[in-house]
Amino acid sequence: MRAYVGFIIGIGSLLISSCGKGPESDQPVKHESDKKAEQNLLVNGHWITEQNGQVMLNPQTSGLVKWRDGLLTLSDRSADITQRLRLRSIIADKALLNGPDFPMVLSEGLKSSCFAPYISNNPDLESLVVDPDDDKVFYIVTEDGSYAEPMPQVCQQKYLNSGSTQYPTLLVRLELQSNNTVLMTHARPIQFTADMQIGDFPNDGVEALAFGQNRTLYLGVEKDSQKQARILSLTMNDEFWQTDEFAEVTQFSLKLPAFESGNHPINGMDYYQTPDGREFLLAAARNDETLWVVDLSGKKETVIVPMTFFAEVQAANQECGNYEAMDNASIEGVAVIGDTLWLINDPWKAMYLNNVKCEQNRPHYEMFAPLLFSVPIQAKWFD
């Protein structure tokens, strides 16, 4: 049986009416119902803005990570051209892009790589992590390479058995330079073993990265051949980047939820350690608007926390309050800062305009502008 945090009923349904005023804070609303029903987590979001006050234009956000005193984010290949191939920094409590941007540049050493044409030409970048021992070093992962120029035949033979897609998933190392560029210094393909049954799904691959203890890198896979989300791992030791051969991931025992139908992908996650030393991953399942609390010891069932997301209404009036409930948020980035969970959404182009209820927010949705959400991490998630 999966562990659930159930939906709020009765008075809670009033809170998520189309243009009603959302919760005044990110604290969940408490309501007594029966013993089995607990609360739906109500989460406020704030439009991410540029320094000139304009909302962020169509970044198709694909990752979020704590960095120094704030957050960093990146975009995938379907973003506006001004957002691609760069890291952008955010002042978290202001949802403000504070600059400078960090554009990605291919190193001389990588220009002769089998992967250079792909990673230098608008690759599909997913997720972002900071090296736990050097905050000038970052790692990103690629997903859909089906549109890429075919590699030379010798490269195709070398990387033939990825265990998943024909064009392999790549881990890419970035290093911050003194001129505020981030140099792509290394790229290494990921290999899944046949018994993992990952399947060939070019646009449903690795979407989430998170560092745990002892340089263990966890990788969240959207779906395997059984249409189930997976979490795998590898150890990024000192020798990791001394080769461009396949990096083989490891599977381990976790009590993840299993679904009989539908798509329930993991699209972002981060590592969290409780005060008593227990280790968890906090993962966003964007299609379900839920947070998964995954016990890394493999002992506890995954707790599923349903969420209702609210977008701020910057010019509230009598018809629309300070927040409006969203039809879909589609969370794609998760970052832990202390005891606060930060979430960023990936505006889903096919669905995003379904969020329009308050006309004041229509221009933001039409620009596919993202929101930044935050919620206190709650001790009961880990009990």
Tens-place pLDDT, residues 87-135: 999 999 999 999 899 999 999 999 999 999 999 999 999 999 999 999 9
CA distance 124 to 118: 9
Q: How many CB atoms lie within 10 A of CB 131?
A: 16
Give the model's pLDDT for residue 1.
43
User: What is the residue type of 83?
Assistant: Q
Q: HSE (CB half, 13 Å, CA atoms) of 111? A: 4
CA distance 65 to 334: 7
Mean pLDDT of the chain: 91
Beta bridge partners of 299: none
Give the model's pLDDT for residue 33.
29
Residue 238 is part of which domain span?
A: 3-298+306-382
User: What is the residue type of 226?
Assistant: Q
DSSP-based three-state secondary structure for 195: helix
pTM: 0.90
Give every CB contact of residue 37 below 8 A, 6+ residues apart in sequence. 6, 7, 8, 9
Give the model's pLDDT for residue 314.
86
Summarize pLDDT for 162-179 with one digit per residue, the tens: 999 999 999 999 999 999
Greatest distance between any 2 Cα atoms in the chain: 66
CA distance 346 to 59: 8
Give the pLDDT mean for 210-221.
98
Per the listing, tokens 């051969």 go with: 245
Summarize pLDDT for 230-255 with one digit per residue, the tens: 999 999 999 999 999 999 999 999 99
Give every CB contact of residue 260 below 8 A, 6+ residues apart in sequence. none
Q: How many CB atoms lie within 10 A of CB 166?
A: 15
Please determine, for residue 329, whether its predicted confidence score (pLDDT) is greater than 80: yes
Please determine, for residue 302, whether its predicted confidence score (pLDDT) is greater than 70: yes
Q: How many residues does the chain have?
A: 383
Please determine, for residue 375, whether its predicted confidence score (pLDDT) is greater than 50: yes
Please determine, for residue 29, whether its predicted confidence score (pLDDT) is greater than 80: no
Give the model's pLDDT for residue 309.
98
CA distance 333 to 87: 14
The CATH code of the domain that includes 57 is 2.115.10
Residue 100 CA, chain-centre distance (Å), reads 22
Structural domain tally of the chain?
Answer: 1
Q: How many CB atoms lie within 10 A of CB 366?
A: 12
Number of H helices, E strands in the chain: 4, 24
Measured torsion, CA atoms of residues 99, 60, 281, 270, in degrees rounded to the nearest 10? -10
DSSP letter at 15 equals H
Which has more pLDDT, 6 or 351? 351
Give the model's pLDDT for residue 22.
55
